[in-house]
Chains A and B, each alone.
Chain A
């Protein structure tokens, strides 16, 4: 799969999530993200990022909803906050899928030479969540072998400091090794070049289609993209727009070998 295809797909899915708070458009997008992740997750720690971002998404939704309780609380306010939180959560889940199906460093290679350094920083930032989680698991295991039980808040430093240190070290190692292999120096390897297979074209195509349809509808102020919550009413949805969201599941049907 051409990494650009996944970028186009994720950007399109992100635009869909960004342009609406209507649950009838957002919920199928969660299904799409899960379906594509199940079909194309890579082996190794990267695959974990879907679950991590799913948890982040739920957390974001819970926090956004909980913020309501600092003001006046009624069904309308709570619903509005929950829908905003759902939009944020779905955005994170889409990002989790992107992380689990593609290699951030493969994407980095596509960056033009002059943007190499910001792209390197972005790739390191992208990969920090799964690396931190696996480092935390390792440290926890090691401390338990030493007889330390990491239970109370007081033992947080015993967990956090090695994790942060590991993260820094890994990032430095990664950056150094990439430099040593000539990333950003201008000589780009042509070994196993990415090709635009039919599957890649289809993936990029549905991403661009869905993203631009929702963007156009948002610019045209389509009413059902931001449903009314005061007075509280059931939001409506157009079946064809739900269909556009479902279109994003197409990469899940493409054989892995074709990507």
Chain B
């Protein structure tokens, strides 16, 4: 009798704990979801993402819903401007940006060369981040930089060109006191989930996209707005910190017109060719490897089943 009641009490307690756990699991994420959607809908803010591939520089004014982490900023730049990227180690490390970097998921395969992560002060200047981008929170007005190069830390790794926020994002779009963010910025930044080139084109009039030489987003970069933004940032650059391989004079590099148009024999061409080669290896051909793999799996499973059946019956 007593044992029996003990069991019921036990099960009741267990079910209560279980119910609490289920409630927590459902309720905990809910406020977070709510708050992000609300923030996204009412005030689009912006953070700058600066990418230095060693041969060219790209800068994006990315609309962010509240606070995101450094990796999410890259994903948002992909959604808004079509920035090519790939991550490794379960989204903890950056393997490729704008077609430059390591193919495959081992982001440090080229080791002395890798994508260095830098955090910028709004006034310009970079500090090396010793913490992964996934654990850095990026708020409105922050500047994040990535540079492809050799060197283990901030002392030896090449820093991206000095880029203050205002040279990437239009001034009215970013300062916090101006709450509405400007109607122009809204047009460019709101396009979170619209097509990549559409977002870039929409952002261009407010100067939020200043992609200088990417072949993918040439349409956006060629529009007149982009040249304004490019013109604004041209004096901020100091090309001297960059690797020798980016050998154009500063002026041609900083030219508002895309590299490929300004100097036809520029370094952008091999980068694009490499990106094409990568795509070709995967998408165009019949996936022979996977088909062979599945065939082999099927045959081995069937063969094993046959052997097992023969042994059992024989």
Contacts and interface: CB of A to CB of B under 8 A. Distances in A.
A237 B288 CA distance: 8
A37 B304 contact: yes
Interface stretch (A106-114, A185-193, A201-209, A216-224): A216-224
B104 A249 contact: no
B301 A226 contact: no
Contacts of A221: 102, 104, 106, 109-110
Contacts, number: 124
Interface string A140-154: 000000000000101
Interface in B177-205: none
B249 interface: no
Contacts of A227: 104-105
- By size class, the interface of chain B is 35 or more
B270 interface: no
Contacts of A84: 90
A23 B287 CA distance: 14
B195 to A, nearest CB: 16
A127 interface: no
Interface stretch (A2-10, A54-62, A73-81): A73-81
A31 B221 CA distance: 52
B265 interface: no
Interface in A12-50: 21, 23-25, 27-28, 30-32, 34-35, 37-39
A234 B105 contact: no
Contact of A236 (B75, B91, B281, B308): B281
Interface residues of A, number: 46
Nearest to B69: A72
Query: Which of B78, B104, B298, B311 is the most central at the interface, judged by chain A CB atoms within 10 Å of its CB?
Result: B104
Contacts of A243: 292
A56 to B, nearest CB: 19
A254 interface: no
Interface string B76-92: 00100000011110110
A228 B303 contact: no
A246 B91 CA distance: 31
A229 interface: yes
Contact of B91 (A152, A230, A235): A230
Contacts of B305: 38
Interface in B1-18: 7, 10
Given A152-B7, A237-B289, A245-B296, A38 B307 contact: yes
Interface of B: 7, 10, 75, 78, 85-88, 90-91, 95, 102-106, 109-110, 281-282, 287-290, 292-294, 296-301, 303-305, 307-308, 311
14 contacts: A25-B293, A31-B298, A221-B104, A221-B106, A223-B102, A223-B105, A223-B106, A226-B88, A230-B90, A236-B290, A237-B289, A237-B293, A239-B289, A252-B303
